[in-house]
Amino acid sequence: MLTTPVLTAAVLIAVGALVLLVQRFVLAGRRHVWLGGLLPVAWVAASLAVLVRDDVPGWRPWLALVLGLVTLLGLWDDGHRARARRPAGPAQPAALPRA
């Protein structure tokens, strides 16, 4: 199979968008707050592994670490606040009028 840099970048962008959607709408809005912290912790671990191995020299890995962490923590906070604003318990159906 032939892979090109454009195809690889498109796949990485799609996977990144999917990860952000999962973080915001699946993990961050749960009753258990710690679930939303899984992806930020995994991001820091993966970023530190790249920094320790020095695969990419310069300031870009540090920038990716900080921006990724700020984005994931922001989504976590947004989902947690949205969960707090939701009414407690399931929605009650409207009562039907008696004839």
Do residues 17 and 70 touch, judged by C-beta distance below 8 A? no
pLDDT tens digit sequence for 14-73: 888 888 888 888 887 777 778 888 888 988 998 888 888 877 778 888 888 899 899 888
Whole-prediction pTM value?
Answer: 0.67
pLDDT tens digit sequence for 51-64: 888 777 788 888 88
Greater confidence (4 vs 93) lies with 4
Count the Cβ atoms, other than its own, within 10 Å of residue 28.
25
